[in-house]
Amino acid sequence: MIRNERGLLLVISGPSGVGKGTICKELESPDTILSVSATTRQPREGEEHGKNYFFYDKETFENMIAEDQLMEWAEYCGNYYGTPRAFVEDMLNQGKNVILEIEVQGAMKIKQKHPEGVYIFILPPSLQELKKRIEGRGTETPEAIESRMAQVTRELSYGSEYQYYVENDLVENAVSKIRAIMEAENAKVARCTAELL
C-alpha cells in the first residue's frame, strides 16, 4: 500500500488568456482544491468571504505581511492580493492537493521557499491563437491587446523555471496531462511510503 502524508502543492502559471482558470476548475475534486487568495479589494456581487477570496481591510493585510502569514503577495491597482499560508498548509496536511493559479512573479517567490511544489506552465498552441482568444473576449481595446501580448512575451521567458510545460490546445487534453503529472508526482519515493502487509 502506498501512502502520502501530504498533498501536492501545484503551482500553475501561464500568460493571460491561455485558459488557466478553466483548467484549474476542471482539476477540482474532493482531493484537489483551488487555493483561496486574500485581497483588500471590495467583494463583487455574489462573491463570498472564504470561498471566492478572503476579504480583508488594508491594516489586517499589512499585519499579515509583517507576520509572514502570506506565501506571496503583490499590490495591484491600489489593492493587495496574496496567498494565505495557513489555509494552504492546513489543506496540504490534510492530504489534499492545493492548486495555486498564480502569475509568474508570485510563483517564483513560492518556488524559493517551496521547491518541493509541482510547477506547471500552461502554453497556448501559438501566439496567434492566444491573441485570437484575447480578442474573442471583446473586453479590450486594440492597444490593450498589444500591451497584453508584450506582457505574454515577458511571461513566456519564465517558462524554463517550471518543471512541466502543458499546451492548452483543448482543455480536456491539458487537464488529462496535468492529472498524469499529479499521478507521477504522487508516486515519487520522496513523497510517499510503501507498506507491504
Across the range 149-166, mean pLDDT stands at 90
Segment 161-185, tens digit of pLDDT: 999 999 999 999 999 999 999 999 9
Residue 84 has which C-alpha cell? 494565505
- Helices 20-27 and 171-186: crossing angle in degrees, nearest 10, is 50
* Model confidence at 139: pLDDT above 90: no
The boundaries of the domain holding residue 181 are 2-194
CATH of the domain at 35: 3.40.50.300
- Which residue has better confidence, 119 or 16? 119
Q: Answer yes or no: are the C-beta atoms of 180 and 164 closer than 8 Å.
A: no
Across the range 101-123, mean pLDDT stands at 92
Domain count, the chain: 1
- pLDDT at residue 197, rounded to an integer: 65
